[in-house]
Amino acid sequence: MKAVIPAAGMGTRFLPMTKNSPKEMLPIIDKPAIQYVVEEAARSGIEDMVIVTGRGKEIIENHFDIAYELEHVLGSRNDREKLAEIRHIAEIADIFYVRQKIPLGLGHAIYMARKHVGDEPFAVLLGDDIIVSEEPCVKQLMRVHQRYGASVIAVQEVAREDVSKYGIVAFEEVDDHLFRIKDVVEKPDADEAPSRLAVMGRYIFSPEIFDCIARTKPGKNNEIQLADALNLLLEKEEVYGYAFTGTRYDLGDKFDWLRINIEMALQRDEFREKMRELLKKLQQ
């Protein structure tokens, strides 16, 4: 299965940092956000990925390329550990790039990858959503896809005050963690939301979604919304929602970025004690 990773958004919620650098390159301690996303796809068994970029996002391509000069310097210092770490980044997967030339929305960004994907089911991982879990989130969705042969989207319950930040689904419960999707509403007001079950940035789509996107008219914010295309897909095929296991961080959000850095530091041996001490001290 191939993966499409939309990374063309402008990151307006993270200004001024994102004025001239992509939000997907924000560091989580020492690794850019998009590397976690690419690694999640790779850990799910995906070897062929398309990153949908846009103007000003060239450093994403450079990050996944071989850095010849850097490797030369590390090699001459005999720093094998760093050399292996740097080389690994260029070998995670075969990554292809396509540009979304005009920012016309998430649906439109995914459509840019249609020729590379072809007529097969494919995964979508949003480049600014990080999901930390033992079994990669996409792998969890793949299991559902294999069982039902249908499109699957990752969902998670959110607080009432947060529903206006997400695509929210109307559903029928099928099994533990599993829902049949009936409708998707993009970023509704809390009073109009069909539920509190929100679409998170991971999907497995049947290739039919491309035709649906092509038929989707500009919707909210005058963009080609993936949620609207999903509703067209629902007229033809079943779509499932899977409440995955894992913690999800929205890297477009400043507080989530602070939170993931602290939580990740607490998981790393080199920082755990120091971070605990700092947090204790700050509480006093």
For residues 151 and 125, give the distance between their C-alpha atoms in angstroms, rounded to a whole number.
14
- Among 8, 198, 212, 233, which residue sits at the site for ligand G1P (rule: CB under 6 A)? 198
CB contact at 8 A, 80 and 34: no
What Cα–Cα distance (Å) separates residue 140 from each residue in 92, 114, 147, 166, 274?
Answer: 20, 24, 11, 21, 34
Residue 55 token pair: 């103007």
CA-wise closest residue to 225 among 217, 235, 233: 217
Instruction: Give the residue closest to ligand G1P by C-beta.
Output: 167
CB contact at 8 A, 187 and 165: yes
Residue 52 token pair: 């949908």
Beta-carbon count within 10 A of 3 CB: 27
How many residues bind ligand G1P (CB under 6 A)? The answer is 13
Does residue number 201 form part of the binding site for ligand G1P (CB under 6 A)? yes
Mark 116-135 with x for binding to ligand G1P (rule: CB under 6 A) and - for no binding: ----------x--x------
Residues 6+ apart with CB under 8 A from 73: none
CB contact at 8 A, 240 and 121: no
- Among 32, 167, 188, 241, which residue sits at the site for ligand G1P (rule: CB under 6 A)? 167
- Among 227, 239, 251, 260, which residue sits at the site for ligand G1P (rule: CB under 6 A)? 227
Measured from the CB of residue 155, what is the shortest distance to ligand G1P in angstroms? Answer: 9
Does residue number 226 form part of the binding site for ligand G1P (CB under 6 A)? yes
Does residue number 26 form part of the binding site for ligand G1P (CB under 6 A)? no
Measured from the CB of residue 21, what is the shortest distance to ligand G1P in angstroms? Answer: 18
Is the Cβ of residue 152 or residue 199 nearer to ligand G1P in the bound state?
Answer: 199
For ligand G1P, which stretch binds (CB under 6 A), given 31-39, 90-98, 131-139, 199-207? 199-207
Is the Cβ of residue 7 or residue 265 nearer to ligand G1P in the bound state?
Answer: 7
Task: List residues binding ligand G1P (CB under 6 A).
Answer: 106, 126, 129, 166-167, 186, 198-201, 226-227, 250
